[in-house]
Structure 1
Amino acid sequence: MARTLAAVVAGVCLLPMASVAKTVTTEPIPVEPETSSQAAPIPTEQLDLPEASEQPAAETPADLAPPQVYYNTSTLPKPVARMHAQMKEAALYGDLERLRMVLESNELPPTLSLTEIGDPIDFLKESSGDGEGFEILAILADTLDAGFVHVDVGTPQEMYIWPYFARYPLSDLTPDQKVEMYRIITAGDYAEMEEFGAWTFYRVGIGPDGTLHYFVAGD
């Protein structure tokens, strides 16, 4: 009996390891991803950023550009075109009394001087180099023949102004514009205005309703 038990034990010991090894089933162990020490990005909509409208508007070249110059009077509003035509007609006819009628068609007298005056036609005669007012009428005709600008649109100061030099940077004038300008003034006038920094010769201002606001010279 002891021999038989010893033989069994010996036989077990002689069996291959593969025949006695127990199969072990393994399951994967889930591993949590390593968290980064860096904070997650904040969504853009949660950032306290200023609205686009709060940003200061950048100055554009259009803000610095000289005003648009016009020559075609057929594009003027009818009341403005009518006043322009009546003044030019009186000037070209050399008729100061006809001009008086145009001036008096205003609800309020237009500005002809930066100081107080009496009779407007007497004042124009006194201001004219020839003493009769014809020089002033010639200046008025040339002024109304020049290009014009439409300024302060949509405001109480909206105006159509002749010549456009009155609202145009004199330093930006091109050669052809200077020739146009010298049809109205002399080189001496221009030198004085360059030094002053603005147009000080005669100009005409007509409101969009056809009201003549001024035919005046000075600063």
Structure 2
Amino acid sequence: MPRAKTQNQADIVSAPSADLAALPAPVRAIRDKILAALDKNDVEALRIPIDWNEVRPLFAKSGAFKAGTDPVEILKTLSFDGKGRETIEIMRAVLAQPYVRIARGPVTLYEWPAFGRHPTPPANEEEAQARWRCVRFSDLARANAERKLRPTRLGVASDGVWHYFWSED
């Protein structure tokens, strides 16, 4: 995968890619496990890929949830509907987007959606709508005010450990 720009001094971010075959096998495996859970249309089904990790993925950057809090309850809380349906749809939309490879020191992460790191104009209206589906309802007002998408991001390390699924803030 060709190198693109440097996000900060520690990150080297690749060009966007939609080539799922280029993902390491452990990354493809956790992505498939997440997608299988999403196909059940029940946020509880996400317990399987969440618990597949030795350490739970983070669902908020700010540390807004205390340690030990049930991860499915966090996903429900973050969902506008309070039941996790928004979370399911956003996660599905995020994983349908191209991804980037991020080299951060000795760690390599794969992050969806790529446009979160490479904010380029969408090619057409359909692509624009697909991108907006990656934005939480609670982030829409700020995104509209800033005239910038604020997508929810999902990151998986090259070893298949799901690190995060969080909004930009």
2:42 to 95, 99, 110: 95
| Equivalences for residues 1-219 of structure 1 within 5 A | 67-114=14-61, 115-117=63-65, 118-152=69-103, 155-168=105-118, 170=119, 172-176=120-124, 178-185=128-135, 188=141, 190-194=143-147, 200-219=150-169
Tell which has more relative contact order, 1 or 2 (C-alpha 8 A, sep 6+). Answer: 2
User: Which one-letter code corresponds to 1:88 in the other structure?
Assistant: L
Q: CA deviation at 1:63?
A: 5.2
Give yes or no for contact 1:193–1:200 (8 Å, CA) kept in 2.
no
Give yes or no for contact 2:37–2:48 (8 Å, CA) kept in 1.
no
Using structure 2 for the length normalisation, give the TM-score: 0.76
User: Which one-letter code corresponds to 1:215 in the other structure?
Assistant: F
Q: Distance in 1 between matches of 2:108 and 2:20?
A: 17
User: Which one-letter code corresponds to 1:72 in the other structure?
Assistant: D
Q: How many positions carry a matched residue from both structures?
A: 151
User: Which one-letter code corresponds to 1:129 in the other structure?
Assistant: F
Q: Which residue of 2 aligns with 1:45?
A: none
Q: CA deviation at 1:157?
A: 3.5
Q: Distance in 2 between matches of 1:192 and 1:85?
A: 35
User: Which one-letter code corresponds to 2:144 in the other structure?
Assistant: A
Identity value in percent: 26
Q: CA deviation at 1:75?
A: 2.1
Secondary structure at 1:143's aligned position in 2?
A: helix
Give yes or no for contact 1:126–1:132 (8 Å, CA) kept in 2.
yes
Give yes or no for contact 2:93–2:130 (8 Å, CA) kept in 1.
no
User: Which one-letter code corresponds to 1:110 in the other structure?
Assistant: P
Give the greater-gyration-radius structure (CA): 1
Superposed CA RMSD = 2.5
Structure 1 residue runs of 5 or longer lacking an equivalent are 1-61
Give yes or no for contact 1:147–1:163 (8 Å, CA) kept in 2.
yes
Q: Which runs of 4+ in 1 moved over 6 A?
A: none
The structure with the largest strand share of the pair is: 2
Using structure 1 for the length normalisation, give the TM-score: 0.60
The structure with the largest helix share of the pair is: 1
Secondary structure at 2:33's aligned position in 1?
A: helix
Q: Which residue of 2 aligns with 1:59?
A: none
Q: Distance in 2 between matches of 1:192 and 1:160?
A: 29
Structure 2 residue runs of 5 or longer lacking an equivalent are 7-12
